[in-house]
Structures are given as structure tokens and as C-alpha cells.
Structure 1
Amino acid sequence: MGLYKDIHIGNLIKLRVNETNIDILRICNFFSINTEEIENMYNQPSLDSETLLRWSKLLEYDFFRLYSQHLILYSPPASLKQTEISGKKHSLPVFKKNIYTKEVIDFLVELVESGDKTIKQVIEDYRIPKTTLHKWIDKYKKNIET
């Protein structure tokens, strides 16, 4: 499940459109554009945030969460120095803890269950605390021996 690794948002939107069976005329009216422009969006690997927000509302799906999960899995955690900006108060919220969705937990447990990665590799590659990963495996395992 490389869903979170390489995100082609246009393809994912088209998948959701197909799942919901939403009429192309409704989409065109919603965006006030023609079918060719909609088809063009399906071919785009990325879209601007306002357009993505509109797709999220229309299709009742949080496309931004795909990017959040990507950050959790594939970006290094911010160091203390990066989060402390010259001792000044932060203007933006500071997130102290990663929030893992059930989909991400299932993805990581499946990596171990399938043998694609060892527990040690998951801990190192995705910076999951050892105790957290073991708790997930115990709770969600299907047929894995720990």
C-alpha cells in the first residue's frame, strides 16, 4: 500500500468520483468549468489547496489527510531547535505528537505481518516507538508471531 508514499491527487480524486458515481454535470456546475477542465484535473499530480478543499467538500472525503499521513510516515520529526523560533511564541499551532489513523496502523502492522519489513525496520523507517508498535501488533495482528 504505497498510497501515502507517492500521492497523485488527480488519480485519487477520479477514483473517488467513480466510487460515488457523481454525475459529471454536477461536478462541472460545482466548479463552474467544462468536462475537459475536470478531466485535466484528474491528470494533475497536485492541485492548489482551494481546489482540493472544494473536491473534499463535493466528494465528502478529506484529501488533505493523505498528505498529513505522508508527513507522519515519511518526513523527519522536527527537532527542538526547529520548533523553538528564537524563544518567540508560535503563531501557528505546535503539534507535539503524531496522530496515527487506523489506516496507517493497519499499513504498518501489515508490513510486519507480510514480512515486507521487520519490526526493527518499521521502528527505524517510520520512527514508531518500539512499545507503540508492539501494542499495535498485539491489538491488530492477524497471524504474526512477535
Structure 2
Amino acid sequence: MNLRDIHIGSFVKAKAEELEIPVARIMNFLNCTEAEIQEMYGQESMDTKKLLRWSKLLHFDFFRIYTGHLILYSPPLKTDRSIKIESSTLEFRKSVYTEEVKSFILNKILSKQMTTTEVLTKYKIPKTTLYKWIKKV
């Protein structure tokens, strides 16, 4: 799975084909025509409301693809330790690494494209987390 260049329509199409969902069921669930479905398959990006409906229909969290992209390719946050951000509305889970991200990182290490030190530096993954992943392989 290529997490650098995301073409969400192709991911949706692949999952629908994998699950062999009939077009009639998709049309009924999304309340659209077959031509509109084919158009969505060709879209590089998609409205979040539509993507949420696809996620429900196909029982797959397509938003995790974008999360994986953010983890791997967004620049590290530069924080000033003297500034304390308090938010009562946002809380993040400890484990935000999807299986796709884990396999991507492990593939880089096992194929010797990157060393563990390079991975730790580039992707800012905690050392203990990375070594736990490697130990499970």
C-alpha cells in the first residue's frame, strides 16, 4: 500500500471488489447511480461524508490511510516546552500506528533500506515501540 500518494477512490474500489459487494447494494446504501459510483472510484480525494458512508458499507476505516500518511510523512511538531497546550476536547490514544505503518517500517528495516537508527530519527517512533515490533517479527 502506497501511503505517500493516496488515491482514495482506488482503495475504495479495491475493497469493494475484494468483498464482492453487488453494485445494487452499493447504489442502495449510498443512494446514487452506478455512474456516480464509477466516478467515486476515479476520485483521488473524496468528501468526508461520502468516505464515512463507504467505511460503514465496507467495514473498513479508510481514514486510517490518511492517519498512516500523517505519521510517516508529516514534519515533526516543533514545540516550545514553556508553552503548555491544554485541551479538554482532544485526547489521543497511545497506539496510533496502523498495521500498514508497522509493516511499512518493518519492511524498510528488514530489506536493509534503512537502519533502526534512521527509522527512529526520521519517523520519531519511540525506541521501545520499534524494538517491540522487531521482536514480534
TM-score (norm. length: structure 2): 0.84
Residue in 1 that maps onto 2:23: 24
Over 3 Å counting, the alpha-carbon distance change for 1:6 and 1:98 in structure 2 is farther
CA RMSD of aligned residues (A): 2.3
The 1-side partners of 2:59 and 2:115 are apart by 36
Over 3 Å counting, the alpha-carbon distance change for 1:27 and 1:12 in structure 2 is same
1:113 to 2:110 alignment: yes
Over 3 Å counting, the alpha-carbon distance change for 1:120 and 1:89 in structure 2 is closer
Residue in 1 that maps onto 2:68: 69
1:13-70 Cα distance to aligned partner (Å, 9 max, x none): 0000100111111111112211111100001011011000000011111101111121
What SS is found at the alignment partner of 1:80? Answer: coil
Matched-pair contact (CA < 8 Å) for 1:11–1:43: yes
Contiguous gaps of at least 5 residues in structure 1:
141-146
Deviation at 1:122, TM superposition (A): 1.3
The 1-side partners of 2:74 and 2:95 are apart by 11
Contiguous gaps of at least 5 residues in structure 2:
none
What SS is found at the alignment partner of 1:44? Answer: coil
Deviation at 1:116, TM superposition (A): 1.9
The 1-side partners of 2:86 and 2:121 are apart by 32
Paired residues in the alignment total 136
1:134 to 2:131 alignment: yes
1:92 to 2:85 alignment: no
Deviation at 1:88, TM superposition (A): 7.1
TM-score (norm. length: structure 1): 0.80
Over 3 Å counting, the alpha-carbon distance change for 1:24 and 1:96 in structure 2 is closer
Deviation at 1:96, TM superposition (A): 7.3
The 1-side partners of 2:71 and 2:105 are apart by 12
1 or 2 for the larger relative contact order (CA 8 Å, sep ≥6)?
2
The 2-side partners of 1:132 and 1:56 are apart by 29
Residue in 2 that maps onto 1:13: 12
Give the letter for the 2:99 counterpart: K
Give the letter for the 1:121 counterpart: E
Over 3 Å counting, the alpha-carbon distance change for 1:89 and 1:131 in structure 2 is closer
Over 3 Å counting, the alpha-carbon distance change for 1:125 and 1:14 in structure 2 is same
